[in-house]
Amino acid sequence: MGYYILRRVLSATPTLLGVTLAVFMFVHVLPGDPARLMAGIEATEDSVQLVRRSLGLDKPLWVQYGIYLNNLIHGSLGASNRDAAPVSTHIMQAFGPTFFLTVAAMLVAIAIGLAAGMIAAVSHGRVLDFTTTSLAMFGISLPSFVLALALIWIFGVDLRWFPTGGDQGAASLVLPAITLGAGAAATIARISRSEMLEVLAQDYIRVAKAKGHRLRMVVLQHALPNTLIPVITVIGLHFGFLISGAIIVETVFAWPGLGRLLIDSISFRDYPVIQGVVLVFALEFVAVNLLVDVLYARIDPRVRYQ
Amino acid sequence: MGRATLRRLLRRTTAGAIGFVIVIAMILTAVLGPLWAPYAPNTPDYAHAREAPSAVHLGGTDDFGRDIFSRVLYGARISMTVGFLGVVIGLIPGALLGLIAGYAGGWLDEVVMRVIDVLLAFPGILLAIAMVAVLGPGLVNIIIAIGFFGIPVYTRLVRGSTLQAKELAYVEAVRAQGARAPRILIRHILPNVVAPIIVISTLQLASAILTESALSFLGLGAPPPTPEWGAILTNAKDDLATLPYMALFPGAALVITVLGFNLLGDGLRDVLDPRMKM
C-alpha cells in the first residue's frame, strides 16, 4: 500500500509542476508590464521598480520561475496590491469557510444522491424510479445561481427560516450547502442507480434473496458495498467541481471563502491574489484526485496491482 | 446526424425526443426571437419601471422599465451563439490534438497528454474564470475561455477512440496499401470518432451555456445593457425581496435550455453509442 501511494504521488508530480508553471505564466501572458500589474494600477514608479526587483522580474523567465517555485516552497505567494498583506494570509482566512462549505455540500450530496439512487434502482421501471431519474436530470441542468435565488426567495425572504447571506453561524451554512450540493447529488443519484441496477442483477444477490433475506438487508449489506467504488470516483471527481462551484455559490450568498476572494480580486485587478487563489484551487483538485485514487486502492485491492 | 438516427431518437427515447423539441424551439427563438419580442430589449421606459407581470408585460419590467420577456427572448440569441461558438472553438483543436496524439503515440502522445492533465487540474469553470480574469470581461473572451476549457475533454475522448480505431483490421489494410497518415486519420479514423463527438458536443453545449451565464452572472460577461440571461438574473438578485418575479423568465429560460441539451445528449448517446450508456 505504501509503495502504491508513493507511486501515485510521484506520477502526480509532473502535473503539479505543470500547474505551478501555468499559474506562473498567468501574469506573463497578460498584455503590459507584469511588474506594474503586480504592483497595481495606481502604484508609483518607485514601487513598480521595487516589485520588479523583489520579484526578480528583470531576470530571465526561467530564473523567475525558479524564484517563484522557491518562494512557493517557503509558503510565500507575494503581497496583495489592494492592502499589501501577504496573499497567504488572505488565502488562510478564506480557506476555512470554503472548506466547511464544500464538506457540508458533499455530505448533502452523498446523503441525498445515494438514497435517491438506491430508491430508484429498487423500484426500477416504476413511477418512483421515473420521478427520481427525472428529478436528477433536472438537478444536473439547474444552474447553482438559479437554485440559489429560488432558495433565498423561498426560505430566506418568504419563510425567513435561514439567513440569506453572510456568515452568521451554522444556520447560514444551510442554503449555500444545499445549493452547492444539489448538482453533485443529482450526478451521484444517476451513477448509484445504474451501478445498483447492475449489482442487483448479479447471482449472489439472487442467492441472498432466495435465502429469504429481506430486501432492505440485501440492498444495504450485499448490494451497496459493491456499488461504492464507481460512486466514490464520482464523489472524488465532484469534489473538484464543488471547489469551483463554490466560486458562484459564495458570491451569491456573500460567504467569506476563496471563491468570493477570487471574484473580488478580479474586480480589483489584484493579480497576486488571483494567482494565489487559482493555484490553491488547482492544487486542491489534484490532491483530492490523488486521495480518491488511494481510497480506491484501499477499497479494491485489485487496483494496486495494475 | 442522419435521418435514420433522428427517427430512432424520436421513437425510442422519450427524453431524447423532448430534448430535441426543446433544442429546436430554442434555436428558433434565437433566430426569430427579435421578431416575436413585443418591445425593444434595451430601451428604458421609466414610467413603467418595476411592474409586475401582466398582459402588457408578460415577465414584468426591470428597474429601467425594460420588458423582461423581450430581454429574455433576445438573450436566447446570445446564449446559443456563445454556446455554439465556444464548443466549436474547443472541438477543432481538441479533436486534432486527440487524433494526432492517439495515432502517433510515443513521446508526442506523452507530451500532449501531460499538457492535457495540467489543463484538467483546473476544475470546472475555474479555468474559464481565470482566463477571463486575464483577458478581461466580454462575450468574445468568454467564447475563447469556454473553447479553451473544452479542449481537454475532446482531446481525451478523440485520443481514446483513435487508439482503438487504429488497431482495426481495415485501418491496417489501408496503411499496408501505403496511405499516408493525414489521409488515414481523416478518411478512415475520424468517421469512427464522430458519434462520440456528437454526443459529447451536445452535452458540452449545455455546460457551455451554463458557464457563459454563470460568468455573466458574476459580472464577467458582456457589459450592460446586453440582454444576457445571467446578467438579467444578477439584476433580479438585488430585488429578490420585493420583485421575485424578475428572476422567473431568465431563470426558466436558462434551466429549460440546459435541460434540453442534456436530454438530447443523453438520448443521442443511447441511440448512437450504446457502449457509453449509463
Largest CA distance in chain A: 83
Per-residue pLDDT tens digits for A123-170: 888 899 999 988 998 988 899 999 999 998 888 888 888 887 777 777
pLDDT above 60 (res A39): yes
User: The complex's ipTM?
Assistant: 0.86
| Residue A271 binned pLDDT confidence (cut-offs 50, 70, 90) | confident
Asked if pLDDT for residue A202 goes beyond 80, the answer is yes
Listed in sequence order, the DSSP H helices in chain A are: 2-28, 34-39, 45-54, 61-73, 87-122, 127-141, 144-151, 171-200, 203-210, 215-217, 224-253, 258-267, 271-299
- The Cα–Cα gap between B230 and B225 comes to 12
Chain B residues in contact with A143 (beta carbon < 8 A): 210, 213-214, 254-255, 258
User: How buried is residue A266: exposed, middle or buried, by Cβ count under 10 Å (0-12/13-18/19+)?
Assistant: buried
Residue A303 has pLDDT above 70, yes or no: no
pLDDT-above-70 percentage for chain B: 97
Contacts of A221 (CB under 8 A, 6+ apart): none
Residue B51 lies in a domain: yes
Which three cell numbers, joined as nine digits, stand for A42?
495606481
Tell me if B86 is assigned to some domain: yes
Residue B29 clears pLDDT 90, i.e. is over it: yes
Is the Cα torsion angle B236, A154, B255, B68 positive or negative in sign? negative
Q: Kindly report the pTM of this predicted structure.
A: 0.88
Q: Which residues are A86's β-sheet partners?
A: A79
Q: Domains, chain A, ranges and CATH?
A: 95-299 (1.10.3720.10)
Name which of A37, A134, A149 to mutate to probe chain B: the one with the most chain B Cβ atoms within 10 A of its Cβ: A149
HEC string of A34-101 equals: HHHHHHCCCCCHHHHHHHHHHCCCCCCHHHHHHHHHHHHHCCCCCECCCCCCEHHHHHHHHHHHHHHH
| Cross-chain Cβ contact A142/B262 below 8 Å | no
**Coil, strand, or helix at residue A213?**
coil
The answer, yes or no, to whether residue A41 has pLDDT greater than 80, is: no
**Is B96 a domain residue?**
yes
Q: Which of A44-58, A262-276, B102-116, B243-257 has the lowest mean pLDDT?
A: A44-58
pLDDT at A275 over 50: yes
Residue A86 φ then ψ, to 5° = -60, 140
Cell numbers 426560505: residue: A155
Report CB contact under 8 Å: A149, B125.
no
Residue B141 lies in a domain: yes
Mean pLDDT for A295-306 is 70
Cell readout for B198 is: 456528437
Instruction: List b or e across A104-134, with b for residues whose CB sees 16 or more CB atoms inside 10 angstroms.
Output: bbbebbbebbbebbbbbbbeeeeeebeebbe
Whether residue B278 is contained in a domain is answered as: no
Q: Assign residue B8 the CATH number of its domain.
A: 1.10.3720.10
In a domain, B60, yes or no: yes
Subunit contact A18:B122, Cβ cutoff 8 A: no
CA distance A146 to chain B (A): 6
Range of the domain at B112: 3-272
Distance from CA of A236 to the nearest CA of B (A): 12
Rg of chain B (C-alpha set): 22
Q: Tell me phi and psi for residue A79, to 5 degrees.
A: -120, 145
Residue B278 pLDDT > 90, yes or no?
Answer: no
Nearest by CB to residue A149, choosing from B124, B129, B240, is B240
Nearest CA in chain A to B278: A194
Give the contacts of A215 (CB within 8 A, at least 6 positions apart).
A122, A209
- The 3-state DSSP class for residue B30 equals helix
CA of B244: which chain A residue's CA is closest?
A153
B7 grid coordinates = 427517427
Residues of A in contact with B274 (CB under 8 A): none
* pLDDT, tens digit (0-9, with 9 covering 90-100), for B141-197: 999 999 988 999 999 999 988 888 888 888 888 888 888 888 888 888 888 888 889
Beta bridge partners of B67: B61
pLDDT level of residue B277 (50, 70, 90 thresholds): very low
Does any domain span residue B29? Answer: yes
Residue type, B235: N
Span A61-79, pLDDT tens digits: 888 888 888 888 888 888 8
Is B98 a member of any domain?
yes
For residue A178, pLDDT beyond 90: yes
Between the alpha carbon of residue A125 and those of residues A121, A209, B16, B33, B159, the distances in Å are: 8, 20, 17, 39, 36
Q: What is the mean pLDDT of residues A221-241?
A: 79
Percent of chain B with pLDDT over 90: 38
The fraction of chain A above a pLDDT of 90, given in percent, is: 23
Number of folded domains that form chain B = 1
pLDDT of residue A14: 85
- 8 Å CB contact of A248 and B266: no
Mind listing the pLDDT tens digit for each residue in A84-134? 789 999 999 999 999 999 999 999 999 999 999 999 998 888 899 999 988
In the numeric block, which cell numbers belong to residue A187? 450526478
What pLDDT does residue A31 have?
64
Contact list, A198 vs chain B (CB under 8 Å): none
